[in-house]
Amino acid sequence: MTDRHIDPERAQFDAFKALPRDTVIHMLNLVRFKDAATYPADHGLSDEGLTGAEAYAHYGADSGPIFQRVGGRIVWRGTMETIVIGPDAERWDAIFIAEYPTSAAFMEMVTDPVYRQAVIHRQAAVETSRLIRCDPKASLSETVFG
């Protein structure tokens, strides 16, 4: 069974909140979808037979306006082709970097009531994921490749 990482653990979220809130941040998203979405039984889409990718599309449609309102934008997206370094069995269905003007904007988004409803689609869609906060100003080329 795959380790499921869908929502942040309390300690992870506390570490995120302890970092500066007034700087631009990038959030690296790595997402693997379930073959079949698993909604709560009382959800309107629970009997629709959606795939994880289809449920994630609902998440994007419902959360997108909040993401844009807080100043978020997608700065990069790509499609996984192969693992060069790492576990051979690892695969990601969605890979992208979201930029937020501040981490406070990210916090505003995730606490918005409409966004919190949209997250139900993400929880139904995702087998496992990684969400990694990055400082876009800390350039590897400056520190390693000089």
- Concatenate the DSSP letters of all residues of 96-134 into one string: EEEEES-HHHHHHHHH-HHHHHHHHHHHHHEEEEEEEEE
The pLDDT value given to residue 142: 59
Residues 25, 21: Cα–Cα separation, whole Å: 9
Distances (CA, A) of 128 to 4, 10, 84, 91, 110: 5, 17, 20, 10, 19
Residues 34, 52: Cα–Cα separation, whole Å: 5
Distances (CA, A) of 54 to 33, 45, 60, 85, 109: 9, 11, 10, 29, 22
Express each pLDDT in 58-86 by its tens digit.
999 999 999 999 999 999 999 999 999 99
Cβ atoms 106, 63 nearer than 8 A: no
Residues 59, 114: Cα–Cα separation, whole Å: 11
Question: What domains can be seen in the chain, in order of their start residue?
Answer: 21-136 (3.30.70.100)
What average pLDDT does the chain have? 92
Query: What percent of the chain stands above pLDDT 70?
Result: 92
Question: Could you tell me the pLDDT band of residue 119, with boundaries at 50, 70 and 90?
Answer: very high
Task: Say how many Å lie between the first and final Cα of the chain, rounded.
Answer: 42
At a CB cut-off of 8 Å and minimum separation 6, what does 36 contact? Answer: 49, 50, 51, 52
CA torsion through residues 71, 111, 63, 8, sign: positive
Express each pLDDT in 7-47 by its tens digit.
888 898 899 989 988 999 999 999 999 999 999 999 999 99
The pLDDT value given to residue 1: 39
